[in-house]
Structure 1
Amino acid sequence: KTVKLWKISEKTKRAEGYNLRDDNGITRSANSLTNLRIPVIRPMELMVEATPKRVFGNAHTYHINSISLNSDQETFLSADDLRINLWHTEVTDQSFNIVDIKPPNMEDLTEVITGAEFHPRECNLFVYSSSRGVIRLCDMRQSALCDRHCKVFEEAEDPTSRSFFSEIISSISDIKFSHSGRYMLTRDFLNLKVWDLQMNTKPVETYPIHEYLRTKLCVLYENDCIFDKFECCWSPNDDHLLTGSYHNLFKITSRLTKKDAIYESSREQAIRPRQILKSKKVLQSARRNRRDEINPDSLEFSKKILHCAYHPTDDIIAIATAHNLFTYVAKDSSSSSLSS
């Protein structure tokens, strides 16, 4: 419920030979000092430090699901289930509520906010997604409280395919603008969808992530995995898409060729880094003697990749499993091969 600003820094040197404390940090008595020493700088093993700089609190009643920095580099938004607040980076004790979908009677609540993000170039525009699979584009120039959106993006549901799980699996778990600002990428339980800001009736591209799980929705509902929130992201050139799945699998999809590659993050990569990853296939007819084939019935739902990120300028990705953080780099810019 609180936003914190951190400074990340690297240390490769440290000062030694202080007068008032020894090398272990223990304070010396001033009476025991017989001479004055000048501290010296010594090299040390690289160490990464995270230092809290500002705390933005007391503005959210529910857990924050997303934060987004504005292109003006001065303001940012934070969103929870029912509200979106606008902050200034220099003001920690005051924010402005720009979206509030809380009804007078909570029994009338039909949807919640699942994500929000600023446009990468237009500082007045932002979008937020909902648990009903709806995306709303808002313009802060229209009014201080953006209860009235300027555009709604929603795909009409096929009535023939409606089921008990339709509303659950249509909930958007993540939304990201492309670097160009023309497209939006959304992730629901089964699909990645690319939306054009000029067309709000349906996505221009749809990529199934784990269609083989459609027959296992009952099992996923019983173990609550159907409510998992998977993230998604764009490559630096907006030509590849990245998202996670179960069994510690993640998928990279090419928008140009429409081909995808599935990889597995495993402990073996942590033991033997810098190896070339081989893509996997999830098949009902998977053979046990093939390490590159996985049967959907053998998937471990406790192992999942919910969080992932693309480097802003290079072909490097970060993948978070339950207990490890992996980084991968593309073997070359024209190849889908990865090395850990």
Structure 2
Amino acid sequence: MAGVGGGNDFQWCFSQVKGAIDEDVAEADIISTVEFNFSGDLLATGDKGGRVVIFQREQEVPILKPMDLMVEASPRRIFANAHTYHINSISVNSDHETYLSADDLRINLWNLEITDRSFNIVDIKPANMEELTEVITAAEFHPHQCNVFVYSSSKGTIRLCDMRDSALCDRHSKFFEEPEDPSSRSFFSEIISSISDVKFSHSGRYMMTRDYLSVKVWDLNMESRPVETYQVHEYLRSKLCSLYENDCIFDKFECCWNGPDSAIMTGSYNNFFRMFDRSTRRDITLEASRESSKPRAILKPRKVCTGGKRKKDEISVDSLDFNKKILHTAWHPKENIIAVAATNNLYIFQDKVN
């Protein structure tokens, strides 16, 4: 598969945009999740109002259109007595019989056919809640090994657990953590090191984590440090104080792999999203905007100016709109087609040759 862009051989272009053009967006209309199915023929989005829209690809014309019968989701099963706190992750196991659900303090294992009970496999709740020092932020099953899962924490650590070792996985099999550089320690260090997303690669060899400023790729055989680190918006480090005051520093950005695990994508502010090619280390910043929404319009790379004289095609870091943010993205499992959620709008982009 071609790289992420930046060269003459590969360009991204606009395909579609779904959603109303509104200045005042209702909270219920904000997209909260985006995901392709395993074949890439279906794309599902969910919003904060609890609605699910599923798009199906037209074979004659390469566009996605809503499947009218499936616009409103109706529950087939309701799993009761699940969690005390908000659920942050749900991950279906590769055995297609079980799934896990995670909240701030616990991870439960469910059977898809049994709705009234689950097994608690991780519990980090202390006897005295005043002693609580971290919370669970994300969890996911391994794509091929049905006994293995990982979960991340607000302290920037990742624990890999093997359910063959113990029914209650309070003791991890592997513990991934990058040593902190004492010279860069600040008031915000712990906040920005909190992991907002963890994703296994399709191969199962690597996993990717997203914290506030960066994306890290970890080899499952090396716990001491990530094998790759990509800076998403390092220019915001000088803005952490104001980002703390407006609560943006707590935004939870997700990340995703392309089909062959050769490139990764994640979001940023100003409706920017970032792509990184793992082999060439090239990266690109693109923007989800209706100004570039003409059919097959090629997306121009965006650059952020951090100081000094600003070039014509650059945007000043002080001009970034922090209300416009790309938290959720998805990459087609077999082709260079991506879905990007920008508030209440869903953008579809594809490579020029697609």
Same fold (TM over 0.5): yes
> TM-score, with normalisation over the residues of structure 2?
0.79
Alignment of 1:123 with 2:132, yes or no, is no
> TM-score, with normalisation over the residues of structure 1?
0.82
The offset of 1:268, in angstroms, is: 2.3
Residue 274 of structure 2, aligned match among 233, 251, 254 = 251
Alignment of 1:319 with 2:340, yes or no, is yes
Asked whether the equivalents of residues 259 and 333 of structure 2 are also in contact (C-alpha less than 8 Å), the reply is yes
> CA, structure 1 residues 274+287, in 2 after alignment: closer, same or farther (shift >3 Å)?
farther
Asked whether the equivalents of residues 216 and 226 of structure 2 are also in contact (C-alpha less than 8 Å), the reply is yes
> CA, structure 1 residues 216+235, in 2 after alignment: closer, same or farther (shift >3 Å)?
same
Alpha-carbon distance in structure 2 between the residues aligned to 1:249 and 1:7: 24
Total equivalences in the alignment:
296
Secondary structure in 1 aligned to 2:266? strand
Alignment of 1:276 with 2:298, yes or no, is yes
**Equivalence for 2:331:** 310
What is the CA RMSD across the aligned residues, in angstroms? 2.3
The offset of 1:55, in angstroms, is: 2.0
The offset of 1:288, in angstroms, is: 7.0
**Equivalence for 1:100:** 123
Alpha-carbon distance in structure 2 between the residues aligned to 1:250 and 1:127: 26
> CA, structure 1 residues 9+331, in 2 after alignment: closer, same or farther (shift >3 Å)?
closer
Residue 167 of structure 1, aligned match among 190, 198, 213 = 190
Secondary structure in 1 aligned to 2:215? strand
Secondary structure in 2 aligned to 1:56? coil
Which runs of no fewer than 5 residues in structure 2 stay unpaired? 1-49, 59-65
1:66 counterpart letter in structure 2: S
Residue 263 of structure 1, aligned match among 280, 286, 292 = 286
> CA, structure 1 residues 153+289, in 2 after alignment: closer, same or farther (shift >3 Å)?
closer
The offset of 1:7, in angstroms, is: 10
Describe the superposition over 1:315-337 as per-residue Cα deviations: whole angstroms up to 9, x where unpaired: 1111001120111112248xxxx
**Equivalence for 2:247:** 224
Alpha-carbon distance in structure 2 between the residues aligned to 1:179 and 1:67: 17
Q: Which has the higher contact order (CA 8 A, sep 6+)?
A: 2
The offset of 1:87, in angstroms, is: 0.9
**Equivalence for 1:23:** none
Residue 264 of structure 2, aligned match among 215, 228, 241 = 241
Which runs of no fewer than 5 residues in structure 1 stay unpaired? 13-44, 334-340
**Equivalence for 2:174:** 151
Asked whether the equivalents of residues 55 and 67 of structure 2 are also in contact (C-alpha less than 8 Å), the reply is no
The offset of 1:90, in angstroms, is: 1.3
1:180 counterpart letter in structure 2: S
Asked whether the equivalents of residues 9 and 48 of structure 1 are also in contact (C-alpha less than 8 Å), the reply is no
Describe the superposition over 1:22-75 as per-residue Cα deviations: whole angstroms up to 9, x where unpaired: xxxxxxxxxxxxxxxxxxxxxxx9635144222223211111111111111111
Asked whether the equivalents of residues 266 and 329 of structure 2 are also in contact (C-alpha less than 8 Å), the reply is yes
1:125 counterpart letter in structure 2: V
| Paired-residue identity, % | 65
Secondary structure in 1 aligned to 2:119? strand
1:224 counterpart letter in structure 2: D
The offset of 1:181, in angstroms, is: 0.4
Asked whether the equivalents of residues 286 and 293 of structure 1 are also in contact (C-alpha less than 8 Å), the reply is no
**Equivalence for 1:337:** none
